[in-house]
Amino acid sequence: MKKQKKIEVENKIVSITEFNEEDYICLTDMAKAKQGDNRVADIIKNWLRTRTTIEFIGTWELLYNPNFKVVEFDHFKSEAGLPTFVLSPKQWTEKTNAIGIFSKSGRYGGTYAHRDIAFEFGAAISPTFKLYLIKEYQRYKEIETNQYNLEWDVKRLLSKANYHIQTDAVKNYILPEKDYEKDKEWLAYAEEADLLNVVLFKCTAKDWRDVIGNYKNEKI
């Protein structure tokens, strides 16, 4: 799990963490923002115990979680809404093997939910809050994307600047040592270039071409 990031919604701080390469928003912070510290656990439990919520989060799990326990989900759905029915995030996760919601303790403790589920929780506690949450989350993603693009451009410049140093090194040291045939020398340059690509971009040139090719096909 990666380091937390934060957004400000209606002058309240809401934490975001990454899990399974997806953004998870802190339901605990959201509940605090609307109701204060005293009733946070009750608010989340009361939201979880309704049939509408159970059906929503269960359907989400069916879409995205191949290990979701459908039998347990059906049991909770049949019990939802009854006066005796109580459900905590921990119980839901442990019984159904859910991945859309989780609770954790420690410095960044609280109940977190995938952004799809968090937006649904936001609508339950306040439609206005949900709209501001979505707006701030979108702004956060735009900033994150811009920072990623800037970092990518810097890496490309570094790669370009080091290209001539690298090719000279291949020519002066690797080619004489490995005794490549003339028509095979390009292999040495390609291998060393891919080492640089992996260090800087975490992928080879072929990997990058495959990704871009798939992306273009999807756009078409």
Q: What is the pLDDT of residues 126-184, one digit of tens each?
A: 889 899 999 988 888 887 776 655 555 555 555 555 555 556 555 565 555 556 555 55
Indicate if 120 and 198 belong to the same structural domain.
no
Q: Which carries the bigger pLDDT value, residue 145 or residue 213?
A: 145
Of 125 and 193, the structure prediction assigns the larger pLDDT to 125
98 shares its domain with 165 = no
Question: Do residues 109 and 204 both lie within one domain?
Answer: no
> Are 108 and 36 found together in one domain?
yes
Residue 213 lies in a domain: yes
What is the rounded distance in angstroms from the CA atom of residue 84 to the CA atom of residue 7? 37
How much is the average pLDDT of 107-112?
83
**For a pLDDT cut of 70, what percent of the chain falls above it?**
63
The answer to whether residues 96 and 68 touch, using CB atoms and an 8 Å cutoff, is yes
Residue 137: inside a domain, yes or no? Answer: no
Is residue 206 one of the residues assigned to a domain? yes
**What is the domain count for the chain?**
2
Residues 98, 65 share a domain: yes
- Domain containing 159 equals 147-219
Q: Do residues 121 and 31 both lie within one domain?
A: yes
Q: How far apart are CA 110 and CA 108, in angstroms?
A: 7
CA distance 61 to 77: 14
